[in-house]
Amino acid sequence: MTEPGRIPELERMRDPALAHGLLGVVRSKAARAREKLGRPVVVMEVCGTHTMAIARSGLKDLLSGLVELRSGPGCPVCVTAQGHIDQMIELAGRPGVTVATFGDMVRVPGSHASLERARAGGAAVRVVYSPAQAVDLAREGAGEVVFLGVGFETTAPAVGLSVQLAAAGGITNYSVYPVHKLVPPVMRALLAMPELRLDGFLLPGHATAVIGRRALDFVGREFGRPAVVTGFEVPDILDGLRVLLDMVSDGGQAVENAYRRVVHEEGNRAALAVLDRYFAVEDTVWRGFGPIPASGLGLAPAYRAFDARIRFGLGEPGPGREKGCRCGDLLRGLINPDECPLFGRACHPARPAGPCMVSSEGACAAFYRYGRRPAAPSPPAGPEKAGRQGGS
């Protein structure tokens, strides 16, 4: 019997027997596609939650030799540019400023430090679980409170509503550092890369639930690549692969929806209305890609008083300094985590060199935890200790 409050379809998607049956189907279809291509099928998952689910379930090993699964720019913390990280850390060091953020951001290295180290040095950095909680901090008198607006279309509506909450309550000591990213422009950037050889995409269910399947139609229509929107349970992912592999074998060039219980053609109208009211599309910089036109969300002109970049006169972010981290190449699908020379040596969860090892949706973190284990890393230097942070 289904427990009260549980969704029957979700319960079905958590059935191990369903996953086992779908795995056999996917392996058979992958073998057919491999025979046609003369090599394994190369698929990119464009969502950090997919990346973690694939690693945790062992799907890469189960499909080895048939399907090569690569991670893409689907981790919101990971795609945040180094220069933006540096500005966040600089903000945290200003007197009277409290930086509020989701947990993953705290340990991401900047060019010279991290928010965690800034906090250890006396900066006011608070981990919150929602933007509304950051508004509460401002209401309670925690000085100037700046919420770090990191994420895709999925999380931006909640940030917009926090601005609404602050405006309605006359809370003038609250602002947002907006670095939200949009999925369609980065998909175009990926598809324009001549060096990237992909046979198809698994598209993110979360972001597509907001923007709608139709917003990604161009992947097939303009670029001739098959893609499937799918969910995050193992049977969801396998079912998405089943549909995708059929298209690869048959020359299909469509964007299909295998997540109909959540994703609709036109998206979530209420969420889109919030985005339209509180945000304006702007150019922004992505880690690994550089500037992508019209790929970010800044606050709309009517709400610029809540934009921390304007309030604190931050200007354009600097280029940052990567220090050998190849997270950017990983986000573009050019390498796997263990192809970075720092992976498992100079970069590991206790001492990450880049955000792909920090984030709960990062490909390096997923591979380190669930994939082939590297040689034991050297112990971290100094007083810094590993600590689990909440996801974004």
> Which pLDDT band, with edges at 50, 70 and 90, does 383 fall under?
very low
Cα diameter, the chain: 65
Tell me the sheet residues that pair with 68: 42
1-5, 61-65, 195-199: segment of lowest average pLDDT: 1-5
3-state DSSP assignment of residue 233: coil
* Encoded amino acid at 252, one letter: G
pLDDT digits (tens, 9 = 90+) for 297-306: 999 999 999 9
| Chain center to CA of 268 | 19
pLDDT digits (tens, 9 = 90+) for 46-77: 999 999 999 999 999 999 999 999 999 999 99
Q: What pLDDT, on a 0 to 100 scale, did the predictor assign at position 60? A: 94
> Which pLDDT band, with edges at 50, 70 and 90, does 31 fall under?
very high
Q: What pLDDT, on a 0 to 100 scale, did the predictor assign at position 364? A: 97
Q: What is the mean pLDDT of residues 238-261?
A: 97
The tokens for 297 are 């969300």
User: CA-to-CA distance for 111 and 90, rounded, in angstroms?
Assistant: 11
> Which pLDDT band, with edges at 50, 70 and 90, does 8 fall under?
low
pLDDT digits (tens, 9 = 90+) for 216-231: 999 999 999 999 999 9
Q: What pLDDT, on a 0 to 100 scale, did the predictor assign at position 319? A: 81
How many angstroms separate the Cα of 60 from the Cα of each of 71, 147, 363, 366? Answer: 11, 37, 13, 12
> Which pLDDT band, with edges at 50, 70 and 90, does 373 fall under?
very low
pLDDT digits (tens, 9 = 90+) for 316-333: 888 877 778 999 999 999
pLDDT for 237 beyond 70: yes
Tell me the sheet residues that pair with 203: 229
pLDDT for 263 beyond 50: yes
Phi/psi region, residue 66 (left: phi>0; alpha: psi -120 to 50; beta: rest), is alpha
Q: Provide the whole-model pTM.
A: 0.90
Q: What pLDDT, on a 0 to 100 scale, did the predictor assign at position 372? A: 56
Q: What is the mean pLDDT of residues 232-236?
A: 94
Percent of the chain scoring above 70 in pLDDT: 92
| Domains present along the chain, CATH in parentheses | 77-183+267-311 (3.40.50.11740)
User: CA-to-CA distance for 226 and 208, rounded, in angstroms?
Assistant: 16
Q: What pLDDT, on a 0 to 100 scale, did the predictor assign at position 307? A: 98
Q: What pLDDT, on a 0 to 100 scale, did the predictor assign at position 289? A: 96
Percent of the chain scoring above 90 in pLDDT: 85
Closest CA to 57 of 179, 232, 187: 232
pLDDT for 284 beyond 50: yes
The tokens for 172 are 């003038």
If residue 296 lies in a helix (H) or strand (E), which one and from where to where? strand 290-299
Mean pLDDT of the chain: 91
pLDDT digits (tens, 9 = 90+) for 83-135: 999 999 999 999 999 999 998 999 999 999 999 999 999 999 999 999 999 99
Q: What pLDDT, on a 0 to 100 scale, did the predictor assign at position 238? A: 96
Q: What pLDDT, on a 0 to 100 scale, did the predictor assign at position 381? A: 37
pLDDT for 374 beyond 70: no
Q: What is the mean pLDDT of residues 148-163?
A: 97
346 compared with 374, residue with greater pLDDT: 346
> Which pLDDT band, with edges at 50, 70 and 90, does 391 fall under?
very low
37-41, 247-251, 382-386: segment of lowest average pLDDT: 382-386
> Which pLDDT band, with edges at 50, 70 and 90, does 14 fall under?
confident
What angle in degrees, to the nearest 10, is found between the helix axes of 363-370 and 48-57?
Answer: 10
pLDDT for 386 beyond 70: no
210 compared with 10, residue with greater pLDDT: 210
